[in-house]
Amino acid sequence: MKKILLCLLSLHLITGNLYARDNTRVSAISDNKMQWWRDAKLGLFIHWGPYCLYGGVYNGFQQRRGGAEWIMNRCKIPYREYRAKASTFNPVNFNAEKIVCMAKDAGMKYIVFTTKHHDGFAMFKSNASRFNIVDYTPFKRDIVDELAQACRKYDMKLGLYYSQTQDWCNPGGLTIRKLMKEGWANPDSLEIDDFTAKHGGAWDAQQQTRTFNDYFYNIALPQIKELLSRYRDVAVMWFDTPASISKKQADDVMAELSRYPHIIINDRLKRPDVYGDYKTPEGLIPKNKDIEGVDWETCMNIGSSWGYKSWENQWKSSLQIIRNLITIAARGGNYLLNVGPDPLGVIPEEAQERLRDLGKWMQSNGEAIYGTTRSQLTPAWGECTRKDFPKHTTYYLCVFQWPENGILPFECPHKVKNVSVLTTGKPLKYTIQDGQMRINIKEITPDSVTTVIKVELKTKLAPVKLSYNADKNFKVTDEN
Ligand code: FHN
C-alpha cells in the first residue's frame, strides 16, 4: 500500500511538473530525467517515410519550395495516388544496425526517428491504421522495432517523432494548405487552390470524411499508445506542428505519458498549454539572450530538406556542421542533425561523409562537447564551452580564428591550474594580469577544423542555473 501511495505521489509530482512549470524551478525529478540528454549534446534526426519515393520530384517537376517530405501537400498529390505510391515502398537495403552504428561513430548519443510524419504513414505496425509499413507495403518489416532493437544493442537512446495533428492520409487529420507556385506540376492547380481555400486546407475530399476529433481518438492517440507501450526504452517523444489540438486532447496524451515519467518531451505537443521539457529552435542557432536558463535543442538539416531530395545541392560543409555543434554546446543546447534516407533505406553518401568527418573530430575533441554547459562567454575568436568537475571547472576554448600574433586573449578572472592543447595534452605558456589571460599558441599547428585549448581552473565555479521560461517559444516553420 505504501509503495502504491509513493508511486502515485511521484506520478503526481511528475505530471504536475509538466503542466505547472514556473519561472524558477527545475525540480530534482526533472533534472534527473534530463541529465543524459543535457550531457549528450548531439543526436541524429531521421526523416523517413514514403515521401522519399518522390525524392522531391513530382511528374518530372522539382518541388522548389519546402522540404521534400511535404511533397504530397505542396504538389497537392491526390489521396489515392499518394497511397498507391506508398504501397510500393520497399526499402530492401534498410539496415537499422548500420544506421545506429553510423550515428554512434559520428559521436551521436541519441536518435529521433519519424514514426509518422504529416503524410500519415506509420513506419511501424499499427492496429489503428492499415496505412503502415507492415500492413501496406511489400516490405512488411516494422522499422521502428528494428531501430529500437539496434539502439538497445548499441546503447543509443531512441526518440520518436510523431505528427499528432497533421495527417494527410488518415481522414480527419489536419491538412494545412501550403502553396507552391514554382514549377508546380499539377495541371488542376487553380481548381485545387479553390478547393483548399474552401476546405480548411484539404486538397482531396477523402481527407475530410471524418472530423479531427475522430482522427485524434481513433488514430493519433492509439498510435501514441502503441509507440509508448511497444518499443520499450523510448527516451524522447518529439511532437510536431502543435496547431489545432485541443486542451482536452493534449491532456489525454499527457495522461498517457505520465505512465512513463522518464520520457522527455519537446515543446510541440500543444502551445501554449504544454511547455514540454525543452525548446526547439529549428534550423537556427539562437542568441545567448534568447535561451538563457532553458534546455533547448536546435534541429537542422544536413542539406536543405528534412526528407530525401534526389536533387539535393545544398549540403552543409563538415566544417560548418562541426562549428554549429560547438556554438550550440557553448550556448547550452543540443544539436539534432537531420538526414533523409533514400527509397532503399540508405543515407545518401554525401550525408554519410559529413557524419564521418564529424565523428573524426568528436573522437579527439569530444571532451569539449559532451557533458558541458553554457559558458556565458563570447570570445571574439570563437566559442567556449564549460565543464564542472567535482572540484574544479574547465573551460574549452574552441578557436575558429587563429590569432595572427599567436597569442590568444581570454578573459578569466579566476585562478588557473593548467592550460594545454586538448588533443595532445601539450602544456601552453600563459600570462595573466587583471583577469586577462594571454595564451601563447605560437608553436601549435592549428587543426584544420577547430583547435581546442583546455583551461583548467583551480576552483569550481557556481553552477549555471536553469529555470523554465515558459513564455519563450521558437517558431515552428510549418505550423500554420
Ligand atoms: O513540417 C515539419 C517539417 O517537415 C519537419 O518535420 C520539421 C522538423 O522540425 N518540423 C515541421 C516544421 O516545423
DSSP sequence for 116-174 = E-TT--BSS--SS-S-BHHHHSS----HHHHHHHHHHHTT-EEEEEE-SSB-SSSTTSB
CA of 476 to the centre of ligand 1 (A): 7
* Ligand 1 proximity of 51 Cβ (cutoff 6 Å): no
Per-residue pLDDT of the chain (480 residues; tens, 9 = 90+): 444 444 444 444 444 343 333 333 345 557 789 999 999 999 999 999 999 999 999 999 999 899 999 999 999 999 999 999 999 999 999 999 999 999 999 999 999 999 999 999 999 999 999 999 999 999 999 999 999 999 999 999 999 999 999 999 999 999 988 888 887 777 888 888 889 989 989 999 999 999 999 999 999 999 999 999 999 889 999 999 998 899 999 999 999 999 999 999 999 999 988 889 999 999 999 999 888 889 999 999 999 999 999 999 999 999 999 999 999 999 999 999 999 999 999 999 999 999 999 999 999 999 999 999 999 999 999 999 999 999 999 999 999 999 999 999 999 999 999 999 999 999 999 999 999 999 999 999 999 999 999 999 999 999 988 876 667 788 887 766
From 136, 39, 119, 47, select the one nearest 334 (Cα to Cα): 39
Residue 223 CA to residue 124 CA, distance in Å, equals: 9
Tally of CB atoms within 10 A around 84:
10
Of ligand 1's listed atoms, the one at least distance from the Cα of 338 is 8
Yes or no: say if 64 and 184 are a contact pair by the CB < 8 Å rule: no
Distance 379 CA to ligand 1 centre (A): 33
pLDDT the model gives residue 23: 32
Q: In the numeric block, which cell numbers belong to residue 331?
A: 550556448
Q: What pLDDT score was predicted for residue 28?
A: 53
Q: Give 37 Cα–ligand 1 centroid separation in angstroms.
A: 21
Instruction: Report how far ligand 1's centroid is from the alpha carbon of 299 (Å).
Output: 9
Q: What is the phi/psi pair of residue 100, to 5°? A: -65, -40
DSSP H or E segment with residue 82: helix 79-86
Name the residue at shortest CA distance from atom 2 of ligand 1: 478
> For residue 185, what pLDDT is reported?
75
Half-sphere exposure of 27 (CA within 13 A, CB side): 14
459: amino acid identity, one letter: T
Which atom of ligand 1 lies closest to the CA of 70?
Answer: 4
Ligand 1 atom showing the smallest separation from residue 283 Cα: 9
Task: Judge if the beta carbon of residue 110 lies within 6 A of ligand 1.
Answer: no
Reported as half-sphere exposure (CB side, CA atoms, 13 A), residue 44 has a value of 31
Give residue 8's pLDDT: 44
Report CA(478)–ligand 1 centroid distance (Å): 6
The per-type count for the chain, helices as H runs and strands as E runs, is 13, 16
Ligand 1 centroid to Cα of residue 267, in Å, is 13
Residue closest by Cα to atom 6 of ligand 1: 306
384 Cβ partners below 8 Å, 6+ apart? 330, 375, 377, 395, 396, 397, 398, 410
User: Which pLDDT value is given to residue 31?
Assistant: 79
CA–centroid distance, residue 458 to ligand 1 (Å)? 45
CB of 478 closer than 6 angstroms to any ligand 1 atom: yes
Using CA atoms, how far apart are residues 176 and 398, in angstroms rounded to an integer?
43
CA distance 277 to 17: 10
Report how far ligand 1's centroid is from the alpha carbon of 173 (Å): 16
Nearest CA to ligand 1 atom 5: 306
Cβ of 297 below 6 Å from ligand 1: no
Ligand 1 pocket mutation, candidates 240, 280, 336, 338, criterion most atoms within 8 A of CB: 240
pLDDT given for residue 25 in this prediction: 35
Report the Cα 95 to chain-centroid distance in Å. 21
Between the CA of 328 and the centroid of ligand 1 the distance, in Å, is: 20
Count the Cβ atoms, other than its own, within 10 Å of residue 28: 9
Ligand 1 atom having least distance to the Cα of 47: 6
Helix then strand then coil, % of the chain, to nearest 5? 30, 20, 50
C-beta 282 within 6 A of ligand 1: yes
Is the Cβ atom of 480 under 6 angstroms away from ligand 1? no
306 CA → ligand 1 middle, Å: 7
